[in-house]
Amino acid sequence: MNHVYFTALRDGAGLAAEVAALDGSTPHVYEVVPTGPFDNDPNVTDKKFPGNPTRSFRSQAPLRVVREVTDWKRLTPEELHMWRDRLSAIRADERGEIIN
């Protein structure tokens, strides 16, 4: 990937961290500051959601980590399973595309 992705929503970052954690590893969420220009994430902005309600962004510049965030809403095992199933279905769909 040519970009680093981030969100301004604490629980949205937690959702992404939980879904990305593999094999029972512990997910982490960090407060970050962009060090360069950033744009709305075209994978969700206007494509799946009008505007940018997910407050999702991407940058080609690094992000500076300010601190680890620990007070984000954790998914239940059932919610995590549902999200992983949804992502698997998207990956299996030949029309699925990640804009890089």
* Residues 76-90: tens digit of each pLDDT: 889 888 888 887 777
**pLDDT exceeds cutoff 90 at 95:** no
**pLDDT exceeds cutoff 70 at 100:** no
Q: Domain spanning 4-92: which CATH class is it, in words?
A: alpha beta
Average pLDDT in the chain: 86
* Residues 15-63: tens digit of each pLDDT: 888 888 877 788 999 999 999 999 998 887 777 667 788 899 999 999 9
Q: Could you give the CA distance from residue 19 to residue 38 in angstroms, rounded to a whole number? A: 23
Within 10 angstroms of residue 66's Cβ, the number of other Cβ atoms is 10
- Record the pTM: 0.76
